[in-house]
A and B are shown apart, each in its own frame.
Chain A
């Protein structure tokens, strides 16, 4: 086999991956702009479904709710995660490795199981369902992502910079503010964007922990689909996808994954 053939095969492979990833999304985005309620072709362009979204109070309030929960989760998870990363970077203590390892299972454990466990736990401690439970649950899920991203950035930090700052009379807090944080800022931003995405796109844990009537957008979409599929769902889903992809592209830009720019 020639290299040329292999190169073509490789390109076809990448093309197929992208096709299966994006074709359904593109179809959905196209249908959200189709006037027909029953996916009838030929395609007739219309923004009717988007316009209807604006008058659907249920969807709007769920969307608003998803956004502010995601913002709160982002603030909490980013602050806690950054502080944890800096502490893990600066100090050596007994059980540090164990702690670092224990931070990762939430990424790997299926959300369904995490959600069930959280529900049982929150009822056990008397917190029950509701927005506080949802926020705590989301923070727990987002935290490992923040720590991974911020720690990766910290790994490139030159410790002698902190020593230099100390020799110049700076206190640990002054060092953190003037030297350490500016260096890891791209990591903090990327970690925050991940946290936002984890919370905003979260379905399973939100489904378990939110009270009926007080749902987030993904939960509302799921329940709406069960009642009957309308192109409005296509419209709101397209908006969510655009938002999520935008966030991920920003995160990629700040965290440099996919290699050095």
Chain B
């Protein structure tokens, strides 16, 4: 177990900066989610910690030891790949034993640890199978078992659940969290799924264009996004900007948003209410309902306001009274106006 730290990492591919002065701490025993759109540098950062990517400048420290010049095989990491990368010519047990074999672990010790790892991922009876005889979720577990059986100092997960279907993904999230808690290993994982990052991580980092935009505990980052990228990426928020006035924010169409503290605010889709008649809520706008999207328990409404789209998420029951399209009122409570930098 160890703390991981990166300092001023820079990696360029041609003219593009995949990592741009990234400095970040990954606390010992924590579950850290790296989040960002594709091309944001999150995978490059993970691969730089693993050693597959060599940064031009900056340092990577595992347990306070600089590892920039240590090759991948000597960094003491465990890694789970997006496609699991199980060795097709080996059985499940042989796959898991591979890391022990190259370390020349004795036969008895090896057997004990492979069994232990198989039990940990609840695949005790599958040791003799070949990877192609397993389901996606089972392969994922084997990849986990193989990565942790060598007792690495840090566990790196590269979009480990993205190849699974949704129902299985939710199961595996719980499973992943359980395994990580049980062995208490420092875990860094990359995802483009914000919900997955929020569910699993005890800290998240958000990257954009190779830069670390924001990091912190998920709830803190979610509740106080501070900048428009984090607000839209992590919560699909609507950004409103205008001129600051004594009693609120004056929008371009003349609407006053009372209580707003800055020139730019973000409001999340779940904090909007829709009504056909004018509501009492102090923050309100007149918009045009364009489309109602049924999604089971939760529904989504898309509105047009001043040529921009406002997305509203709520209980489908609350949307039933609304017309399919036409003019509606959008409202929210002043405490849901989150001040951000533009």
Contacts and interface: CB of A to CB of B under 8 A. Distances in A.
A168 B99 contact: yes
Contacts of A174: 102
B120 interface: no
Q: What is the size category of the interface that chain B forms with chain A?
A: 20 to 34
Interface residues of A, number: 17
Interface stretch (B33-41, B76-84, B208-216): B76-84
A163 B89 CA distance: 16
A204 to B, nearest CB: 40
A170 B98 CA distance: 9
Contacts of A169: 73-74, 99, 102-103, 150
A166 interface: yes
B83 A166 contact: no
Interface in A157-190: 158, 160-161, 163-171, 174, 178-179, 182-183
A158 B88 CA distance: 10
B61 interface: no
Nearest to B89: A182
A158, A166, A167: most-surrounded residue (chain B CB, <10 A): A167
Nearest to B158: A160
B88 A171 contact: no
Given A167-B50, A169-B74, A158 B85 contact: yes
A170 B88 contact: no
Interface in A134-178: 158, 160-161, 163-171, 174, 178
B233 interface: no
A179 B77 CA distance: 19
Contact of A163 (B71, B81, B98, B150): B81
A183 B85 CA distance: 13
B42 interface: no
B147 A158 contact: no
A196 B74 CA distance: 41
Contacts of A165: 87, 98
Contacts of A160: 81-83, 85
Contacts of B102: 168-171, 174
Contacts of B81: 160, 163-164
B141 interface: no
Nearest to B79: A167
Nearest to B101: A178
Given A163-B52, A164-B79, A170 B85 contact: no
Contacts of A183: 88-89
Contact of B150 (A164, A168, A171, A178): A168
Contacts of B83: 158, 160
Given A163-B52, A164-B81, A170 B73 contact: yes
B149 to A, nearest CB: 9
B78, B79, B147: most-surrounded residue (chain A CB, <10 A): B79
Main secondary structure of the interface of A (DSSP, over half): helix
Contacts of A161: 85, 87-88
Contacts of A170: 73, 98-99, 102
A167 B72 contact: yes
B325 to A, nearest CB: 48
Given A169-B103, A169-B150, A170-B98, A164 B85 contact: yes
A167 B89 contact: no
B50 A178 contact: no
A160 B87 CA distance: 10
A167 B98 contact: no
A123 B103 CA distance: 52
B145 to A, nearest CB: 12
Contacts of A182: 89
Contacts of A166: 52, 71-73
B11 interface: no
Nearest to B75: A167
A166 B76 CA distance: 10
A174 to B, nearest CB: 5
A168 B146 contact: yes
Contacts of B147: 167-168
A171 B72 CA distance: 9
A160 B102 CA distance: 18
Nearest to A183: B89
B146 to A, nearest CB: 7
A174 B103 CA distance: 11
Interface of A: 158, 160-161, 163-171, 174, 178-179, 182-183
Interface of B: 50, 52, 71-74, 77-79, 81-83, 85-89, 98-99, 101-103, 146-147, 150, 156
27 contacts: A158-B85, A160-B82, A160-B85, A163-B72, A163-B79, A163-B81, A163-B85, A164-B86, A164-B87, A165-B87, A166-B73, A167-B73, A167-B78, A167-B156, A168-B78, A168-B147, A168-B150, A169-B73, A169-B74, A169-B102, A170-B98, A170-B99, A170-B102, A174-B102, A179-B87, A182-B89, A183-B89
5 tightest Cβ-Cβ pairs between the two chains A and B: A168-B99, A164-B85, A167-B79, A160-B85, A182-B89
Given A160-B81, A164-B86, A167-B79, 11 more contacts: A161-B87, A163-B79, A163-B81, A164-B85, A167-B77, A167-B78, A168-B98, A169-B103, A171-B102, A174-B102, A182-B89
